[in-house]
């Protein structure tokens, strides 16, 4: 679970965020968000997208993502395990990757992201192994 992390585990999450954004030019933002909608860590290439939001609006957006994934996962037993969810907007694409009781949020520019999503799923699997929590199904 990502609710309580050791300092070493937080550093691993931080390295994960930095690694994803540095390896993919289409990634604008990577956030690890805990079950309460708070950012554990993040890396950003361009903050112009989120700079238009107030602090309160940002908090609401992150809490909404956690709630959205939580509600989608409520149907895992009947529909199969959720791997990720995608939201397309005019200026960017959001991908939400469930990760234990948290969410990895990745914002992409408007490019084709199919290969990028596959790469990030591999990175998330590696993250789970590094912080010694059960593997996720991709």
pLDDT digits 0-9 by tens, 74-123: 999 999 999 889 888 888 889 898 887 889 999 888 777 777 777 888 87
Overall size of the chain counted in residues: 138
- Residue 127 CA to residue 5 CA, distance in Å, equals 13
Radius of gyration (C-alpha) of the chain in whole angstroms: 14
According to CATH, what is the number of the domain 7-130? 3.30.450.30
- Residue 39 β-bridge partners: 33
- Residue 120 CA to residue 127 CA, distance in Å, equals 10
What's the pLDDT band for 134 if we cut at 50, 70, 90? very low
CB 77 within 8 A of CB 62: no
Q: Which pTM does this prediction carry?
A: 0.79
CB 71 within 8 A of CB 79: no
- Residue 126 CA to residue 101 CA, distance in Å, equals 17
């Amino acid at each position: 679970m990502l609710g309580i992390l050791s300092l070493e585990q937080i550093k691993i999450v931080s390295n994960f965020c930095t690694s994803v954004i540095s390896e993919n030019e289409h990634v604008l933002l990577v956030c690890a968000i805990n079950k309460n909608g708070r950012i554990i860590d993040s890396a950003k290439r361009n903050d112009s997208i989120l700079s238009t939001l107030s602090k309160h609006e940002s908090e609401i957006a992150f809490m909404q993502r956690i709630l959205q994934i939580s509600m989608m996962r409520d149907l895992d037993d009947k529909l199969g395990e959720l791997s990720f969810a995608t939201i397309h907007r005019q200026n960017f694409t959001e991908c939400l990757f469930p990760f234990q009781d948290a969410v990895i949020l990745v914002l992409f520019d408007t490019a084709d992201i199919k290969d990028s999503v596959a790469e990030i799923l591999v990175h998330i699997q590696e993250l789970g192994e590094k912080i010694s929590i059960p593997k996720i199904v991709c």
